[in-house]
Every structure is written in structure tokens, then in C-alpha cells.
Amino acid sequence: MNIGFIGAGYMAHEHAKVFEFLGCNVAAIASRNSEVSSERFSGNFKSARRYIDKFELIEKANIDALIITTPPEVTETLLDSINQRGLFSLVEKPGALNLESLERIINNPRIFFGYNRRFYESVAALKMKVDKNDGYFQFHLVEPCFDNVNERRDCLLNNSVHMFDLIQFFIPNCELHYLSGDYLRYLFDIRDENKKSRGTLKVSFGAFRNQSIHWDGDKSSITLEPIEEFHFTNAFHTIEPSDLNPIRRYIPTVKDESENNLIISDCVFKPGLLNQAREFLAQCISKDEDCVNVLSKPKHAHWVLAATREVQKNLL
């Protein structure tokens, strides 16, 4: 399968390595002519024909699918052309700055978005558990303590969108409702399509901790902290007080040793990219039959951007 690329930076390289590993031909590349990264990409993937004009690649290149890794303000100018040609496309997050750009492609079955955390082994294991059991989530989104609110808003759009995507991945058709905030910390209630509270999102700027997801069910608890690591517990091991340590301690553990209580995401490639690429190629081969249910579709990207805007407007 011939794959074309628009954008030649870090993420383009990461995607190209994965698709080459899966037997695809990196057939074409378009990016700004002056970029050093373009020369590096062409040097590493010598079969790629070089295009200066992004639209020429979309219209004329002999490719079966397209990977777009440009900044969102550039990407959204390409969506209509991709839509018209009918190319299978994998677009890096968030894909656009304006909801209207995503609304125009909302029903296109051939455009997907690169929310690769959906494909972490840790996330897949949590998804399997929560789809079978009721529970309550705590999402903790941590970003640096920027000097001004505009930098924080930009960070939410360019980086934090991964967490927003996971919220809707675990709780489809949910809504975020602002509860409180104090400049550095913001709390949102997450309500499902039946208006029931299913968890909270805490956004923290400047906290010294990993981003995390916690889920508590009736008979078990699961923690992803960092997101790449899945920790399952359903019991406590109690250590009674002693002369050396007069505090009773409760150590989370598992009742049954057959339970897989630790899963760490594969890091041969950037986590999630390999499984994401496999599903994308499967979709390309199946044409317009919806053979997958994990890839992020335009409606998901639209939800993420709307949720990001909702959080942005509440920043102090």
C-alpha cells in the first residue's frame, strides 16, 4: 500500500517508521521546501516522491492513503480537498481549530484522527473492564504552570486533547460541566447521555504528579498512572502495627494471582501507533465497511474540540 505524508516533522517520522514496518511504501511527502525536517524525511524514506505543494500531492500523487501531521491551522485548510478526493486519511490531533471545519467532514467514513492513546495496551485493558462494569472515573490532567491564560489555552488545544478524547472513549456522548476553579486547578463533572454523573475531570497547572485515570467499580479499582501503565486491585493486604512501625498499613493487591494486575504499554514504537496503524490499514482494505470501532472518527474529533473549548472558556 502506498502512503503519502503531508508534514515531515517528528510525528511524521514516527508514523512512517510504523507503516514501513507493516510493509507499506512511503510513497510521497509534501512539506515546506525550506524545512530541514523535509530533507531528513526524504533521506530516511528514499522512495518518497517530494512535493512542494500540499494540494498537488492530494490531487495527483499515486497513493492509497494519506497521513497528515501538520499544525491544526494548516490541517483544517486541507480537509475539504481530502474530503473531495475520498482519500483514506489519518490526521494528527486535534485536526482543526474551528468546529465548522470538522462539521463539513463529520459523515466522511474515510477520515480518522490520530488519538493514539486509545490504542495503548493499558487503555484497552481498562476499556474492557469498564464496558462490563459500572463505576466512577477520576481523570487528572496535569500541565505546566504557564505565565498567562493564553498559553494555558494553547496547551489544552495542542496537548491536552488526548485526555479529552479518552474521556469520551470511556464515557461516550458525555458532557463536561464546570464546578469550580482557582486559577491553578479546575474541576468538571462528567455526565453521561442520561445526565448521570460518571466521574470528574480535574485540570491542574503546575502540579508535580503524573497525568492519571482512576476508576472504582463495585469490586475492583484500576489506576492508569502514568497512562501507559495499568494497575488492577481488588483487595488489601493488611500489615499490622509493630514496634518499628506503629501504623496499620493497607497495601492494594489482588485476591487471585491469575488476575493481570499490571500491564505496561509496548514502547518498541511510540505507544499506540502500531495498533492504530494496523486498524487504519484494515479500514483502508475494507473500503467503506466499518470494520473497526476504536479509530477516532470526525464526530469524535468534533466532540474533543468542543470539550476543549468548554474548558478553555472557564480558565481564569
Under 8 Å between Cβ of 166 and 252: no
Cell numbers describing residue 183: 486559577
pLDDT at position 180 over 90: yes
Over residues 190-232, the pLDDT tens digits come to 999 999 999 999 999 999 999 999 999 999 999 999 999 999 9
Over the stretch 32-47, which tens digit does the pLDDT of each residue have? Answer: 755 677 888 888 898 8
With a cut of 80, say whether residue 247 has pLDDT above it: yes
- From start to end of the chain, where are the E strands? 2-6, 25-30, 49-51, 65-68, 88-91, 111-113, 135-143, 175-181, 185-191, 197-205, 212-217, 221-224, 229-233, 235-239, 249-253, 262-264
Whether residues 265 and 133 share a domain: the answer is: yes
Asked if residue 302 has pLDDT above 90, the reply is yes
pLDDT in tens, 49-100: 999 899 999 999 999 999 999 999 999 999 999 999 999 999 999 999 999 9
pLDDT level of residue 162 (50, 70, 90 thresholds) = very high
Q: What percent of the chain has pLDDT over 70?
A: 96
Instruction: Identify whether residues 29 and 87 lie together within a single domain.
Output: yes
Q: Which has the closest alpha carbon to 20: 295, 274, 279? A: 274
The pLDDT assigned to 301 comes to: 97
Q: Say if residue 57 is in the same domain as residue 126.
A: no
Answer yes or no: do 95 and 40 share one domain: yes
Residue 111: what pLDDT? 96
Are 224 and 130 members of one domain?
yes
* pLDDT given at position 299: 96
Q: Quick one: 288 and 202 in the same domain?
A: no
Do 153 and 214 lie in one domain? The reply is yes
**Alpha-carbon gap, residue 215 to 130, rounded angstroms:** 8
Per-residue pLDDT averaged across 152-174, rounded?
94
Q: How many domains does the chain divide into?
A: 2
One domain, residues 127 and 253: yes
Same domain, 158 and 260: yes
The pLDDT value given to residue 214 = 98
Mark 211-224 as b/e (b = at least 16 C-beta within 10 Å): bbbbbeeeebebbb
Regarding whether 283 and 225 lie in a shared domain, the answer is: no
How crowded is residue 264: how many other Cβ atoms within 10 Å of its Cβ?
Answer: 14
Query: Rounded distance, CA 278 to CA 203, Å?
Result: 32
The answer on pLDDT for 4 being more than 80 is yes
Which CATH number characterizes residue 253's domain?
3.30.360.10
By residue range, what is the domain housing residue 72?
2-114+271-296
pLDDT at position 34: 59
279 neighbors 104 (Cβ within 8 angstroms) = no
Report the alpha-carbon distance of residue 118 to residue 127 in Å, rounded: 9
The model's pTM: 0.92
Residue 208 grid cell? 508535580
Note the pLDDT of residue 33. 59
Determine contact, residues 105/298, Cβ cutoff 8 Å: yes
Nearest to 70 by CA among 9, 8, 7: 7
Asked if residue 30 and residue 161 are part of one domain, the reply reads no
Does one domain contain both 39 and 102? yes
